[in-house]
Structure 1
Amino acid sequence: MSNNFVLPTPPLPLTPAEEEKLRGRLTGFKTGYDEGYLRGRLAILHGRPEEPLPVRDIHVMYVASGKGYPYSPLDEAAVAALQKLTTRVTVTDVRQNLVELAGADHPDLVIVLDGMDLPLEQINVLRGSGIRTAIWLTDDPYYTDFTLKIVLHYDYVFTLERNCIDFYKGLGCQQVHYLPFGVHREHYHPTTTRSPIQRDISFIGSAYWNRVNFFREILPDLMQYNTVINGIWWDRLPEAPQYGERIEIGKWMSPQETALAYSGSKIVINLHRSHIDEDVNNNSLGIKAVSPNPRTFEIAASGTLQLCDARDDMGNFYKPGEEIETFASPKEMMDKIRFYLTHEEERQEIVLRAYERTLKEHTYTKRLNQLLTIIYG
């Protein structure tokens, strides 16, 4: 890809002050041209309709987690996909009496998101009445001490962590399938006009201790750029007060706010949480996480370059070096930041390839179609 922008040759002679002023103007023209070119290409891809998928003549009861934000956007995405893929969807949550609802509405399939707070006897009654049941686990492997107690109550178990498949099968589950989350295009998409946010680097996420320790090592170098960190618990970072509003503390961002920040950033860092964290995890077996988190797909769908810590299963979703960039250390991350902030064409090539693949393969419509295909063939 080449945007064929050529800086004009300035007239000579110029004073040093005139040269500096002209150089600044030309750099501004080039930056604006590059951004316009990228957003134009993204707009073309964004305008393409999603591949049509078969509509199954089934009635699905979808059971939301009932936990509110940040789970509610996942519910919105799943429901929107199911409404495209089935003839009828009934939406409820774990606080309702599913047995009574099923007795009145007669669903063919009950899909439960998370399911941590759902009374298991209700699932047992539904299964006993011949209704198929499925659970889509949202936080594997971080809470497997809890999920191991509920998975055997379902006909189908879907997990977003590849390393949990054998774990659940070992418990006696007959139908365990790998189904990572995806992206809901109504939530995450590029800003196709000039972005109101202009950042070099963004990180959005909670301050788990592995993230705090990682960033502390390179924070002075990282913050030399126009870098902004958003999320909860960043008061754990002792240096945070030095950077004022550039390190935001204690705020959950909506998907729309997050997508806007992603799209207005040249680079977005994706640093996964650790499977070992005694403060917040309930993973006493220490099951290692190797699969990409939902942010992997959300960042790619927002039209920006993603720098992600290397995970074993990443290559099954994006090609490192072509559709995503990975790092194994803080130093490698900083080296790649320096490279891509000075090599705009290479950055844009990766952005466009990642966005195109995301639209083709990693939407919630594709994920829910995969779930229904597993159950119904």
Structure 2
Amino acid sequence: MLVKKQAFSAAAEKGYLLGYEQGLRDGACESLVRLIQPAAPIKHDVCILYIPQGFEAIDQGILEALRQSVREVHVADSKQMAEQASLIRPDWMLVLNGLHVFPENHLEQIDQIRAMGIQTAIWFADDPYVTEETITIAPRYDAVLTHELSTVQLYLDLGCRSVHYMPLAVHPGWFKPMRVEEKYRSDICFIGQAFWNRVELFDALAPYLAGKRVFIAGGLWDRMKNYSMLKPFIRMGWLPVEESIRYYNGAKIVINLHRTTEAGSDNRNTLNLPGRSINPRTYEIAACGTLQLTDQREDLPHYYRVGLELDTFKTAEELQSKMAYYLKHEDERRAMALRGLRRTLQEHTFTTRVQQLAAVLSW
């Protein structure tokens, strides 16, 4: 009986401490979000026809920002771009990415729209992983925006006259701090496809992660040599955005590992352009008020202060060491995550980014 009471008491104390830590985090995030009230965006006197890619969180973030930032916004499916442009007669048509689900006559439609005197812009969100395709698309548009530094010169060399580096951002109406149920909580979380560089990393980390509370989601994870060791923690397949947000909020640490850019079965990048810029997941994790450990990209320091607003790693050994450290240092982990949240809300929302886009396109 005494052993049972002691076990119950230990479990209750552990539960209390976990609840206390979670409460501190939730309360601090709520206070910070209330404190940061962004200024109303400048309203530009233009009509925009927006063509979504189907990247739900990005499309909705851009659309919400456009509605705040321009006089008039319309949305059309890529199959009816030219038809809708002829009816609406927008000042600009803005296309996200222009890949995957776009019709075979995509570029013919762009030619028709430009012939109407309507300005066209494409914002590439998959660079540099599909440059075999984007090099045929970019020259057909009036303006090219890319979130990847390494492809700017590529499009200029193709003869594109208006090329702009335009990083992505986050939709703070979706990705935000929130209280979540126990089932969403973890020590360490990773959400994404198992590209080969990720397989290599998680194979190396598997013995360490097997002793932690872990959540991994995405496809192709059965490529791992140590798949059986981590299988209980892996949710195979696509994870809805709303679920990803909850898992980010419930994690103590979220790993962000950019996919490899090397040409091969996972990429269409025969030019082997490097990845110099950060992915949208960088902003999304930070916007949830959770500590992020990410691999290094060249322009990361332009957007976050490494060691203050998030932290980085180069090797599996360094990542394991930092995970062990931050799991033991709750206050330091929470403070860093809060600083990352503040920076994101102040500088990296789609409302801010669309204002920057409007400036470079002279809306």
Scaled to the shorter chain, the TM-score interval is over 0.9
| Counterpart check, 1:87 vs 2:75 | no
* 1:106 CA displacement: 1.3
Go from structure 1 to structure 2 and tell me whether the alpha carbon gap of 1:301 and 1:187 turns closer, same or farther (over 3 Å shift).
same
Go from structure 1 to structure 2 and tell me whether the alpha carbon gap of 1:269 and 1:193 turns closer, same or farther (over 3 Å shift).
closer
Aligned residues: 357
Go from structure 1 to structure 2 and tell me whether the alpha carbon gap of 1:56 and 1:195 turns closer, same or farther (over 3 Å shift).
farther
| Counterpart check, 1:317 vs 2:303 | yes
CA contact (8 A) 2:206 2:230 kept: no
TM-score using structure 2 length = 0.93
| Counterpart check, 1:349 vs 2:335 | yes
Go from structure 1 to structure 2 and tell me whether the alpha carbon gap of 1:120 and 1:215 turns closer, same or farther (over 3 Å shift).
same
| Counterpart check, 1:340 vs 2:326 | yes
Question: Which of 280, 286, 308 matches 2:272?
Answer: 286
CA contact (8 A) 1:36 1:194 kept: no
Pick which of 347-356 and 228-237 moved more.
228-237
Q: Which residue of 2 aligns with 1:271?
A: 257
| Structure 2: unaligned runs, 5 residues or longer | none
How far apart in 2 are the matches of 1:277 and 1:345? 42
Aligned 1:1-377 pairs, distance under 5 A: 25-47=12-34, 48-65=36-53, 68=54, 71-96=55-80, 98-116=81-99, 117=102, 119-192=106-179, 196-249=183-236, 251-376=237-362
Go from structure 1 to structure 2 and tell me whether the alpha carbon gap of 1:211 and 1:277 turns closer, same or farther (over 3 Å shift).
farther
| Structure 1: unaligned runs, 5 residues or longer | 1-14
Q: Give CA-to-partner distance per residue, 1:192-231, whole Å, 9 cap, x none.
A: 4666522000010001111111111121112211112110
RMSD in angstroms over aligned alpha carbons? 2.0
Pick which of 187-196 and 147-156 moved more.
187-196
* 1:22 CA displacement: 5.9
Pick which of 72-81 and 227-236 moved more.
72-81
How far apart in 2 are the matches of 1:206 and 1:243? 15
How far apart in 2 are the matches of 1:21 and 1:282? 56
CA contact (8 A) 1:40 1:192 kept: no
CA contact (8 A) 1:43 1:192 kept: no
* 1:361 CA displacement: 0.7
Secondary structure of 1:248 counterpart: strand
* 1:333 CA displacement: 0.1
Secondary structure of 1:136 counterpart: strand
How far apart in 1 are the matches of 2:126 and 2:230? 32
Q: Give CA-to-partner distance per residue, 1:29-80, whole Å, 9 cap, x none.
A: 3332222111101012233443211111211000123xx4xx2332222111
How far apart in 2 are the matches of 1:188 and 1:30? 26
Percentage identity across paired residues of the two chains: 37
* 1:328 CA displacement: 0.3
CA contact (8 A) 1:38 1:348 kept: yes
Secondary structure of 1:274 counterpart: coil
